[in-house]
């Protein structure tokens, strides 16, 4: 095992450190991005932790990769740390697993000055954040995301949850982390398919908010796929900066607020994920198809030019992501019905985030059902 992910083979030398601030008054925090940061996490945590007891929550895939370096750095900084390793996968986001973690919190004698450390992808972050939001009416937690998808989305913004058998993310809270620590070098261990899935969310930020960033991703997609540390750090920093700004304006996704824009492509994506029982596509892959579909709907509604929609689709494809459903995917009628069950459908009305250009998006509640239905009939692979 390579116990020091600050020196994995084949990854260029460390690049500059970046700090992005999420401004939320007394709940403000930093997203610290630096290659090799994991080995230094203990001293970084010392600056924000109220006490010395903490529990690291991870899964059995990530734990063996990064647990040892993290444990050494926490120990060197004088922390009294315990580790909970869970089975990998979405199944960990359950009330049963949360209960198991409450027991681990008591075993580790955590009190209100203690801190949870979420080490892993979005599942670990959401679950750990949920436990932190509820144990003793709320204790601190920090996010240490290890997938590109969780670095640029789930670890930032304080949405924490477990799943209910009837709906994903249905039992949750807004509980902001005290900090997000991102070490882009951990991405050296990320499977290719997951790296690409994370790029879907990176592309999303360009489409929804920043044409210049979209062009940066267009010019650097090859480097990003090759895991160039500088390109990845810049893409992560910019993505986090866009999300941080939006969360700072609209922490709780108020009606009419900008946080809903982060759901670009997600109305279609959630329908695809639900109808394929979360087996056929990774979340980022469903978002990639959903974004291409949202652009098609934007063109059909005469909001977006054909040229811009094609450009988005081409970038998604360049990132090695799907833009179409597969021939064997569920029927269009089933997928359309599932969009109505999406939690973003209000009072039976469909809600879509649509693009008016690359870099500007708006929420629309007035898309006629027929127009939305037609999107599911687009050619399949
Ligand atoms: N992933 C969307 C949000 O955090 O609001």
- Any idea what the CATH number is for the domain that residue 41 is in? 3.40.50.1970
Mean pLDDT in residue range 46-69: 97
Backbone angles phi, psi at 216, to 5 degrees: -60, -45
pLDDT band (50, 70, 90) for residue 3 = very low
140 and 236 housed in the same domain: no
Query: Does any domain span residue 9?
Result: no
pTM metric for this prediction:
0.94
Asked whether the predicted pLDDT for residue 323 surpasses 50, the reply is: yes
Closest CA to ligand 1's atom 3: 262
Among candidate residues 140, 165, 189, the one where a domain is terminated: 189
> Catalytic annotation on 137?
yes
The closest-lying atom of ligand 1 relative to the alpha carbon of residue 246 is 5
Choice among 178, 270, 313, 351 that is catalytic: 270
310 and 273 housed in the same domain: yes
pLDDT band (50, 70, 90) for residue 14 = very low
Q: Collect contacts of 68-72 with beta carbons under 8 A, ≥24 apart.
A: 68/1, 68/3, 69/3, 69/4, 69/5, 69/6, 69/38, 69/39, 70/38, 70/41, 70/117, 70/119, 70/144, 72/39
Query: Does any domain span residue 357?
Result: yes
137 and 208 housed in the same domain: no
Asked whether the predicted pLDDT for residue 4 surpasses 80, the reply is: no
Distance CA 371, CA 187 (A): 40
Query: Does any domain span residue 269?
Result: yes
* Model pLDDT for residues 277-305, shown as the tens digit of each residue: 999 999 999 999 999 999 999 999 999 99
> Catalytic annotation on 270?
yes
pLDDT band (50, 70, 90) for residue 153 = very high
Compute, in angstroms, the gap from residue 259 CA to the centroid of ligand 1.
7
The closest-lying atom of ligand 1 relative to the alpha carbon of residue 159 is 4
* Cβ of 153 below 6 Å from ligand 1: yes
Choice among 196, 283, 313, 344 that is catalytic: 283
> Catalytic annotation on 336?
no
Among candidate residues 168, 189, 210, the one where a domain is terminated: 189
40 and 87 housed in the same domain: yes
198 and 270 housed in the same domain: yes
pLDDT value of position 17:
86
Choice among 26, 47, 137, 277 that is catalytic: 137
CATH number at residue 204: 1.20.1090.10
> Catalytic annotation on 283?
yes
Backbone angles phi, psi at 28, to 5 degrees: -65, 150
> Catalytic annotation on 374?
no
Compute, in angstroms, the gap from residue 52 CA to the centroid of ligand 1.
31
Mean pLDDT in residue range 69-96: 96
Among 31, 159, 261, the mutation site with the greatest number of ligand 1 atoms within 8 A of its Cβ is: 159
182 and 264 housed in the same domain: no
Among candidate residues 189, 218, 249, the one where a domain is terminated: 189
174 and 266 housed in the same domain: no
Compute, in angstroms, the gap from residue 287 CA to the centroid of ligand 1.
13
Query: Which token pair is 157?
Result: 């913004």
Among 201, 253, 270, the mutation site with the greatest number of ligand 1 atoms within 8 A of its Cβ is: 253
324 and 336 housed in the same domain: yes
> Catalytic annotation on 349?
no
pLDDT band (50, 70, 90) for residue 2 = very low
pLDDT band (50, 70, 90) for residue 346 = low
* Model pLDDT for residues 219-268, shown as the tens digit of each residue: 999 999 999 999 999 999 999 999 999 999 999 999 999 999 999 999 99
Query: Does any domain span residue 327?
Result: yes
Asked whether the predicted pLDDT for residue 375 surpasses 50, the reply is: yes
358 and 226 housed in the same domain: yes
243 and 113 housed in the same domain: no
Query: Does any domain span residue 259?
Result: yes
Query: Does any domain span residue 12?
Result: no
Q: Provide the number of structural domains found in the chain.
A: 2
Closest CA to ligand 1's atom 4: 157
183 and 295 housed in the same domain: no
Mean pLDDT in residue range 86-109: 97
Asked whether the predicted pLDDT for residue 1 surpasses 50, the reply is: no
206 and 164 housed in the same domain: no
Query: Does any domain span residue 315?
Result: yes
Choice among 44, 104, 263, 313 that is catalytic: 263
Strands 159-164 and 80-86, sheet pairing:
unpaired
Of 146, 143, 63, 53, which is closest to residue 106 (Cα–Cα)? 53
Domain of 226 in residue numbering reads as: 192-375
Among 24, 262, 286, 287, the mutation site with the greatest number of ligand 1 atoms within 8 A of its Cβ is: 262
pLDDT value of position 344:
56
Query: Which token pair is 129?
Result: 């954040």
Compute, in angstroms, the gap from residue 246 CA to the centroid of ligand 1.
10
Mean pLDDT in residue range 356-379: 96
* Model pLDDT for residues 170-225, shown as the tens digit of each residue: 999 999 999 999 999 999 999 999 999 999 999 999 999 999 999 999 999 999 99
Question: Comparing 348 with 380, which gets the higher pLDDT?
Answer: 380
Percentage, residues of the chain above pLDDT 90: 91
49 and 40 in contact (C-beta within 8 Å)? Answer: no
pLDDT value of position 343:
56
Asked whether the predicted pLDDT for residue 10 surpasses 50, the reply is: no
pLDDT value of position 342:
64
- Coil, helix or strand at residue 30: strand
Give the range among 9-13, 26-30, 129-133, 234-238 with minimum mean pLDDT: 9-13
> What is the rounded average pLDDT for all residues in the chain?
94
Query: Does any domain span residue 133?
Result: yes
* Cβ of 262 below 6 Å from ligand 1: yes
Compute, in angstroms, the gap from residue 159 CA to the centroid of ligand 1.
7
């Amino acid at each position: 095992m390579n116990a020091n992910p600050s020196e994995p083979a084949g990854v260029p030398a460390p690049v500059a450190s970046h700090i992005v601030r999420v401004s939320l008054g007394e709940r403000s925090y930093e997203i610290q991005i630096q290659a090799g940061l994991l080995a230094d996490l203990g001293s970084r945590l010392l600056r924000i932790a109220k006490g010395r007891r903490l529990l690291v929550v991870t899964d059995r895939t990530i734990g063996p990769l990064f647990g040892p370096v993290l444990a050494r750095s926490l120990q060197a900084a004088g922390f009294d740390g315990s580790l909970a390793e869970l089975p990998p996968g979405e199944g960990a986001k359950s009330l049963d697993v949360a209960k198991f973690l409450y027991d681990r919190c008591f075993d580790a004698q955590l009190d209100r000055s203690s801190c949870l450390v979420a080490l892993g992808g979005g599942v670990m972050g959401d679950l750990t954040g949920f436990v932190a939001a509820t144990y003793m009416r709320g204790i601190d937690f920090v996010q240490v995301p290890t997938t590109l998808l969780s670095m640029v989305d789930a670890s930032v913004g304080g949405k924490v949850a477990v799943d209910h058998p009837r709906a994903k993310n249905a039992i949750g809270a807004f509980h902001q982390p005290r900090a997000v620590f991102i070490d882009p070098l951990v991405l050296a261990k990320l499977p290719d398919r997951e790296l690409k899935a994370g790029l879907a969310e990176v592309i999303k930020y360009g489409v929804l908010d920043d044409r210049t960033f979209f062009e940066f991703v267009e010019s650097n997609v090859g480097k990003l796929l090759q895991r160039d540390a500088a390109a990845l750090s810049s893409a992560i920093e910019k993505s986090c900066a866009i999300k941080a700004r939006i969360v700072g304006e609209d922490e709780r996704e108020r009606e009419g607020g900008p946080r809903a824009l982060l759901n670009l492509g997600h109305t279609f994506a959630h329908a695809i994920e639900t109808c394929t029982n979360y087996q056929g596509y990774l979340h980022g892959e469903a978002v990639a198809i959903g974004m291409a579909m949202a652009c098609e709907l934007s063109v059909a509604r005469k909001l977006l030019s054909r040229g811009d929609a094609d450009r988005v689709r081409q970038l998604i494809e360049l990132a090695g992501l799907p833009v179409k459903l597969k021939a064997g995917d569920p029927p269009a009628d089933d997928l359309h019905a599932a969009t109505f069950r999406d939690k973003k459908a209000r009072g039976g009305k469909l809600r879509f985030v649509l693009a008016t250009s690359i870099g500007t998006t708006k929420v629309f509640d007035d898309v006629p059902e027929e127009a939305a239905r037609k999107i599911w009939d687009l050619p399949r692979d």
